[in-house]
Amino acid sequence: MMELPPDIRSRLQSLEKLPTLPVVIENLGRALKDPEVDADQIARIIEDDPAIMARIMKVVYSVYFQGAKAPPTLKAAIVRLGFQAVSNLAMSAAVFSTFPPKNNTVFDRSAFWRHCIATGIAAECVHNELSRFAGLDLSPDVLHVCGLLHDIGKIIFEQYFHDRFVEALELSKTREMSLSAAESRVLGTDHTRVGAWLGRKWNLSEQLLEVVRWHHSPQNAAPEYQGVVSVCYLANLLVNAAGQGDSGNAYPRYARKIEHEFDLDAKNLLYLNNLIQTKMEQTPLMMALSA
């Protein structure tokens, strides 16, 4: 069990409908390890969850097949996108569907998911462009999922501890403090601990759990995962500094933090920001999914 205050842990444990990831995600992960898997097999797995399939097809059609005489088949979409991209899309659709938007909240879900997706894209750019991370064997797909899920604890707070989370959001804004610090003051814990707790329940990989838990303090991650956590830490800072989406974090000094910790001057920072923006424009599928 992750280190959570008794009242938070008790509340989470008492929830009868605490969300779980659909079985289709686990089945997709298993299938993709088979080098002989084909588009028909991937399609059959996704078809087992009509809600995920419908969301995937809606987004794929809006991005790639608008104007077509007939809607694409799922198999055609899989062939067009590739297996791993479809798996990432399914994971995203599953997470978004698992946590439907709440009404009358100050926390903008669409902007939040755009932040998460942008963080995954930024992580790919950081990994590819900075020599300090060149030796890490990290695929874009892994980094995209890390970005998608790194802040998942905030959704738990908003869904199940809404009033206190809103108080933390306001405290972060008025005191110009990090949201993690504000959460700890109001709730007695922060989104990284709650997110890792949920990730453990979802049977996420140790690599993903380390990213969720330590993406604000990579030096505390297990040594074998400090590289990927550092990549995601910098990516998160870059996305927050550029105002890509909205993580709910009102801390104002991201650029200074990036320059100090990673020795990136204004020129390099601008280059990375432009690269991330270009990459996001070239990745309309994931961005459309957050809408």
- The CATH number of whichever domain residue 118 belongs to comes to 1.10.3210.10
Mean pLDDT of 72-98: 84
Alpha helices in the chain, H assignment, sequence order: 6-14, 23-32, 39-47, 50-64, 74-81, 83-98, 109-129, 140-149, 152-160, 162-175, 179-187, 191-201, 206-214, 226-242, 254-262, 266-281, 284-289
Most confident of 10-14, 186-190, 203-207, 282-286: 186-190
252 shares a domain with 125 = yes
Instruction: Output 152 or 259, whichever has higher pLDDT.
Output: 152
Compute the C-alpha angle 183/277/254, nearest 5°. 35
pTM (predicted TM-score): 0.84
Statement: residue 76 has pLDDT above 70: yes
Q: Output the six-digit token pair for 2.
A: 């992750």
Q: How many CA atoms lie within 13 A of 270 on its CB side?
A: 3
| Spatial contact of 72 and 61, defined as CB atoms under 8 Å apart | yes
Residue 91 included in any domain: yes
Query: Into how many domains does the chain fold?
Result: 2
124 shares a domain with 45 = no
Statement: residue 123 has pLDDT above 70: yes
* The pLDDT value given to residue 80: 83
Beta strand segments in 98-229, E: none
Residue 216 included in any domain: yes
| Spatial contact of 162 and 170, defined as CB atoms under 8 Å apart | no
